[in-house]
Structure 1
Amino acid sequence: MPAIDVFLTLYKTNHRLVQTLEEQLGSFGLTLGRWCLLVALRSGGRPMLPSELSDDLAVTRANVSNLLNALEKAGRIERAFDPANRKRILVHLTPQGREVIANVWPVYEQTIARLVGGKLSPDEQAQLSALLKKLV
């Protein structure tokens, strides 16, 4: 069945991409999950609620909590009470977190470019992106 072939190919491709990225990120003391959380915070441009990060990353609240614990222990994020509502906790990037993003981003970009851009033309990348967005 073509649909099953597509699914299995996506699964294998994702596994290979994640494995390669994990290897690259490991040299910076990061996992892909921790990296994605840092990038989500930077992209958000403001302190975020853990629930917002969970929704943004499409992972469980418990998973985000574990990621936050590890990043906070490493000094890359900080959690603080929301001054507007003391019942809420906001997650902030620390200066060290910003520095990690600045140092890792070029490696991340180069890895993605090599894995995707090295195999697909810009037109093929655009086509694949459009097709994958139809599945989400």
Structure 2
Amino acid sequence: MDWSILGWIALIIAAVGFLVACIAVAIVLFSVKKNLDYVAETLDGMDGQIQGITRESTDLLHKSNRLVEDVQGKVEKLNSVVDAVQGVGYSVQNLNTSVDRVTNSITTNISENEEQIAQVVQWSNVAMEIADKWQQRQQRSGAVKGRY
């Protein structure tokens, strides 16, 4: 055989191999193109969803900011109420302290003047007995005058 025929056969085999390789690469590229198209569609859908989420997040952030401002305003108003209640608490505490002092003073005075108080009570009882007897006598003498 001639080397030139062998060269032509090798060239034909190489050309057929190159053609098969090109067809295989084309098939792979078409498959990759389909997958990339699918990925692009998915990303477009995700882009729309992400924009929707971004809008909702922005709206939620604005609402949260308004809510925080509202709560801060109410807290400031509540601070004045707490201050007023604290003032009432101080007043009640001062009143309790004053009542304790007065009670202690009265208890001390009663303890110191216990004997004198007992004497006043005894004299009061005597005075009431005398007044009762006086009334009884007046009634008796009025009854006696009424008979005559």
Q: After TM superposition, is the score higher than 0.5?
A: no
> So what's the TM-score if we normalise by structure 2?
0.21
The structure whose residues are more often strand, as a share, is 1
Q: Which has the higher helix share?
A: 2
Give the greater-gyration-radius structure (CA). 2
- Select the structure with the greater relative contact order (CA < 8 A; seq sep ≥ 6): 1
**What TM-score, normalized to structure 1?**
0.23
